Structure 1
Amino acid sequence: MAGPIWYRYLFGPNLNRTHRSPETARPDGRVARRGWPYQPRSLEKHADSILGWASALWSLSYYSSPLLLCYLYRKGYICSSKLVPFSQYVGTVLVCLLGVACLRGWGRWRNSEYVQFITILEETRKNHIPSNKKKLASYDFDFSHWPADFNWKEVSNPKLSKGGVSLLKPEPRHRGAADSILNTVRTLPCHIISFLIAHSFGRRMLYPGSVGLLQKAMRPMLQQGQARLVEELNGQRSKLIACDGNEIDAMFVDRRSEGGANGKTLVICCEGNAGFYEVGCMNTPLEGGYSVLGWNHPGFGGSTGVPFPQNEANAMDVVIQFAVHKLGFQLTDIVVYAWSIGGFTASWAVMSYPEIKALVLDASFDDLLPLALKVMPDSWRPLVTYTVRQYMNLNNAEQLCKYQGPVLLIRRTKDEIITTTGPEDITANRGNDLLLRLLQFRYPKIMTDEGVASVRQWLAAGSQLEEAELYSRYEVDDDWCVSVLQSYQTDTHTPFPWAVGEDMTPEGRRQLALFLARKYMRNFETTHCTPLPASEFHHPWSL
């Protein structure tokens, strides 16, 4: 932004809204009770509309470019005799758009509200003191121009490699024929196709919220959610710089000064594949009175980058560092809460920071591969398997089993997204497999054949009445189960996996298995995308 005055207005950020603030008054001089949307004058408004349409058309042409190029080639338009006139036409369009941008800059310069905003932004860039940041926080504008509030370089993090990237565990490579040169050459086309799929429609299918056109359509809703968080809940927006250079858009609502018991606990929220903190799962812990820190995936909202697993892990890492070193929370005061695909970053967080207090996973799954195979043709199975494992390996269960703390899984009984058949078949919900993997790791002597069978029966129950009947049929005694587990914990003091149940009868193992299943998982009778009420958000059970 530093430069001549004309440059600031020509290439400055779009101003969306002025939030309510004690230091801010409306352009007419009256004190503001609420924020108000920015009102551009006619010249700026029409020029900005033209540039907005040009941006939307560019996005549309970008996503349709393969089909468009094929059509132009078949019609004979891609040849030297026709490319020269086309390039001249493109040059003319660019010159016209630059002229429109100049008109927009002139309109901004004539608008006192924008002049005041750009002056505050320039002062904050030159002097990043709290008073300037507070004034700048009164505005909602293009986040790319927001000054950085926290950088991963500010702290020493042992989880980062020498290159400054928090590395995920790579897939194991097997020696033998698979490593031969002949096999490498033979599979090279498959590898190329897999790379193209992952970096084109594959990533966008997995994270539709990263598609620019969808974000443009949701922009009014996101701006409204942003205004609510800042104006009604005193939210603090921040830009975090991750170790890969991506800028992460985060929002913090501090409840510690309100005196409530929940306010001292920070809930870090991880959104779904089309979720944004402005309108996402942040609302659930907020209604419960917790301090809450939300953030957007790379490529979502104000965050930069693309949401591949490594970038996701890097983003989560800087969010946790920000919570500890900037906001002043201890890891033991942090609960990680995730919805749907957010379970990947949440399970990565508790795996990498085992001191975290607890984990709550809502409508999440154990592994992406079964869900990916469900929506792709059977003939593509080898290609889909390789692509997921190589580029989109969201292995939630594997990461979750490396965490020793309390865990709560929330299963949507009518979930239509994370099932491999349909919402009417509750046994196909991948949350079931996540629970079984966790219990089998933590209590292998309990989760023998009879233990697994009883848990599967419980998971197949279609109502609370059926669950209670099953519980009664096996005569589960909660007090006895707690005493057995507490006695083992007191005698051994060992981390998971536990050997409890090793010398127990099959009936005893069934009782313990059902007891643990009810403690680790709660059912919520609704579909995948229904917001979770605050009454359903609980701290996980622990001994």
Structure 2
Amino acid sequence: MAKLLSCVLGPRLYRVHRPRAPGAAGGAPGGPQGGNGAGSERGEPAWDSYYQPRGLEKHTDSVLALASVLWSISYYASPLAVFYLYRKGLLTMSRVVPLSHCVATLGLLLAGVACLRGLGRWSNPQYLEFIAALEESHRSGTPEAKRKLGLYTFDFRSWPVDFRWDSAGPAWGGSRAVPLLRDPPRPRGGSRGLLGALRKLPCALVRLLLAHTLGRRMLFPGSVRLLQRALLPTLLQGQARLVEQFGGQRAKLVACDGNEIDAMVIDRRGRDPRGDTLVICCEGNAGFYEVGCLSTPLEAGYSVLGWNHPGFGGSTGVPLPQSEANAMDVVMRFALQHLNFAPPNIVLYAWSIGGFTATWAAMSYPDVGGLVLDASFDDLVPLALKVLPRSWRDLVTQTVREHLNLNNAEQLCRYQGPVLLVRRTKDEIITTTVPDDIASNRGNDLLLKLLQHRYPKVMADEGLRAVWEWLEAATPEEESSVLRGCAPDEGWCQEQLKAFAGDRSPPFPWSLGEELSPAQRRQLALYLAQKHLQNFEASHCTPLPPQAFRLPWVL
């Protein structure tokens, strides 16, 4: 009976992965061993490993899946439904009570269907083997038990915890939230005290409601469950590829706010010339590590660590700035404390909105080896104003600043290490005027803010104008025309930078540039811009090829 109850309450099983060959089996995350999956990294097709439920389990699974989809649709449509019922006068006690009885009856029917599904699982030896592996992993937690469990893909809620944020002792004063950069409080107006607070309360509630309904879903569409259900077959294929071909190890990380973060690590130390460098990947607003930017450094030969935003895939919670930073914190701790990578051997790689968590990690863990931001932006406010009605300008600005403040440039300027920005020349998402207008690409603003912070004397007047002209060049021909007038002398520029830095590695901002002529400032400004920015001729969502991925420039 205990086994039957485990089958009733057990998670849904999706795939059973082919065991890796003994000579190629990877070690548990944290060791330098690691290994390729069966088929290795030779490009062989992944084994078709979908779990095949039997008749009773298959049909009951379909019923429960349909009920889950209908529940999701009713959840998103509930405000409109309540408004309609209210207008029709149907929200009366005499009508609500019978409706509640119907809901309770439906719940009992679905519970009965779940019991029948458990009976079908109980008769399937493959599911019984999976349940035994899951229970053993929860009970013992040994590397061998986790290795066996890693051969299954199932509902991540039942995966055992691999790492907690406080495993090596709490930081941030034991707080349940990591520190974020906050805007200084605005000066109060004429109304103070309780009366002033009451007057501001309706507007504050509107901003809160807007941020947690429309705003959050527009900012992170990948958190919408209906979209995730539609993408599930693709995500399962992507995860099978990481596990079977690359020897990926899945892990559950618990952040300081209690959210469970779904992560995937592929450790290539000792097996690849670039494997000693770990690239931590931060996905976009509809990206998942299974099919996202993780593939770029992975195929380039690096060790990689991918993770899903809160509310994405197997991760719990909702994607808001605070929960995003909390998730990134536990990912960094996992890489440093559990995987035992040294900070200089860690590179942060982010695509699009992932720039927020990557710049937060660079700011909070300043010893990391570098930061690569692909198709990212400096600030969310200009992009939010672009897509929402102009009459909402003040409301949108205040809502973003209070609840959805992705201040990438401000965080980036707190980091002293190497930085590379990848700008898409045909980007249609982070431009603020017409699509593909390279002059309004917010990546330009991100570069300028970084250079003006680090080299304020070089980026004054002539230097700033020269970089702007270079950034506005829409074609390679226009770019060559700009550089023809004042082409940087690479040897001279390096001499100036090395002479100023010497052996002391002074922190930014530097005072370099005061003694230079206007022409020399132009040269040095263009040289620094070219070293910090890489153009990629593509649209926003085109994957970055592995051959285009490079580590940031180091003086």
**Which residue number corresponds to residue 50 of structure 2?**
37
Bigger shift: residues 204-213 or 14-23: 14-23
Contact in 1 for aligned 2:11/2:155 (Cα 8 Å): yes
The alpha carbon displacement at 1:507 in A equals 1.0
% identical aligned pairs? 58
**Which residue number corresponds to residue 398 of structure 2?**
386
**Which residue number corresponds to residue 342 of structure 1?**
354
The amino acid of 1:128's aligned partner reads G
Contact in 2 for aligned 1:18/1:35 (Cα 8 Å): no
**Which residue number corresponds to residue 120 of structure 2?**
107
The alpha carbon displacement at 1:504 in A equals 1.3
**Which residue number corresponds to residue 279 of structure 1?**
291
Change in 2 beyond 3 A, CA 1:23/1:466:
closer
Gaps of 5+ in 2: 23-37, 40-45
Question: Which one of 280, 288, 297 corresponds to residue 309 of structure 2?
Answer: 297
Question: Residues of 2 paired with 1:424 and 1:313: CA distance?
Answer: 31
Question: Residues of 2 paired with 1:491 and 1:22: CA distance?
Answer: 49
The alpha carbon displacement at 1:481 in A equals 1.0
Gaps of 5+ in 1: 25-30
Bigger shift: residues 265-274 or 477-486: 477-486
**Which residue number corresponds to residue 483 of structure 2?**
471
Question: Residues of 1 paired with 2:351 and 2:381: CA distance?
Answer: 18
Question: Residues of 2 paired with 1:145 and 1:4: CA distance?
Answer: 17
Q: Determine helix, strand or coil for the equivalent of 2:512.
A: coil
Q: Please, what is the CA RMSD of the aligned residues?
A: 1.7
Contact in 1 for aligned 2:426/2:537 (Cα 8 Å): yes
**Which residue number corresponds to residue 223 of structure 1?**
236
The amino acid of 1:51's aligned partner reads L
Counterparts of 1:124-143 in structure 2, within 5 Å, are 124-143=137-156
Q: Determine helix, strand or coil for the equivalent of 2:285.
A: coil
Question: Residues of 1 paired with 2:237 and 2:401: CA distance?
Answer: 38
The amino acid of 1:90's aligned partner reads V
1:475-503 Cα distance to aligned partner (Å, 9 max, x none):
42111111111111117642100011012
Change in 2 beyond 3 A, CA 1:92/1:354:
same
TM-score (norm 1): 0.96
Question: Residues of 2 paired with 1:188 and 1:382: CA distance?
Answer: 16
Bigger relative CO (Cα 8 Å, ≥ 6 apart) = 2
Counterparts of 1:41-60 in structure 2, within 5 Å, are 41-60=54-73
TM-score (norm 2): 0.94
Question: Residues of 2 paired with 1:318 and 1:393: CA distance?
Answer: 21
1:183-237 Cα distance to aligned partner (Å, 9 max, x none):
3222211100011111112101100000000000000000000000000000000
**Which residue number corresponds to residue 259 of structure 2?**
246
**Which residue number corresponds to residue 16 of structure 2?**
18
Q: Residue 396 in 1 paired to residue 408 in 2?
A: yes
Question: Residues of 1 paired with 2:16 and 2:526: CA distance?
Answer: 54
Counterparts of 1:32-181 in structure 2, within 5 Å, are 34=47, 36-158=49-171, 160-177=172-189, 180-181=192-193
Change in 2 beyond 3 A, CA 1:119/1:135:
same
**Which residue number corresponds to residue 446 of structure 2?**
434
Question: Which one of 530, 533, 537 corresponds to residue 545 of structure 2?
Answer: 533
Question: Residues of 2 paired with 1:216 and 1:403: CA distance?
Answer: 38
Q: Determine helix, strand or coil for the equivalent of 2:288.
A: coil
Contact in 2 for aligned 1:416/1:527 (Cα 8 Å): yes
Question: Which one of 490, 503, 508 corresponds to residue 496 of structure 1?
Answer: 508
Question: Residues of 2 paired with 1:514 and 1:36: CA distance?
Answer: 53
Bigger shift: residues 84-93 or 275-284: 84-93
**Which residue number corresponds to residue 7 of structure 1?**
5
Q: Determine helix, strand or coil for the equivalent of 1:36.
A: coil
The alpha carbon displacement at 1:176 in A equals 3.9
The alpha carbon displacement at 1:22 in A equals 4.9
The alpha carbon displacement at 1:174 in A equals 3.3
Q: Residue 521 in 1 paired to residue 533 in 2?
A: yes
The alpha carbon displacement at 1:166 in A equals 1.1
Q: Residue 307 in 1 paired to residue 339 in 2?
A: no
Aligned residues: 533
The alpha carbon displacement at 1:511 in A equals 0.9
Q: Determine helix, strand or coil for the equivalent of 2:264.
A: strand
**Which residue number corresponds to residue 193 of structure 1?**
206
The amino acid of 1:185's aligned partner reads L
Question: Residues of 2 paired with 1:99 and 1:193: CA distance?
Answer: 42
The alpha carbon displacement at 1:161 in A equals 3.1
1:220-271 Cα distance to aligned partner (Å, 9 max, x none):
000000000000000000000111111000000111121x321110000000
1:347-400 Cα distance to aligned partner (Å, 9 max, x none):
000000110000000000000010001111111111111110011100000000
Q: Determine helix, strand or coil for the equivalent of 1:262.
A: coil
Q: Determine helix, strand or coil for the equivalent of 1:264.
A: coil
1:120-160 Cα distance to aligned partner (Å, 9 max, x none):
111111111111111111100000000000111211354x2
Question: Residues of 2 paired with 1:244 and 1:150: CA distance?
Answer: 14
The amino acid of 1:280's aligned partner reads G
The alpha carbon displacement at 1:312 in A equals 0.6
Contact in 1 for aligned 2:163/2:334 (Cα 8 Å): yes
Contact in 2 for aligned 1:165/1:244 (Cα 8 Å): yes
The alpha carbon displacement at 1:23 in A equals 9.0
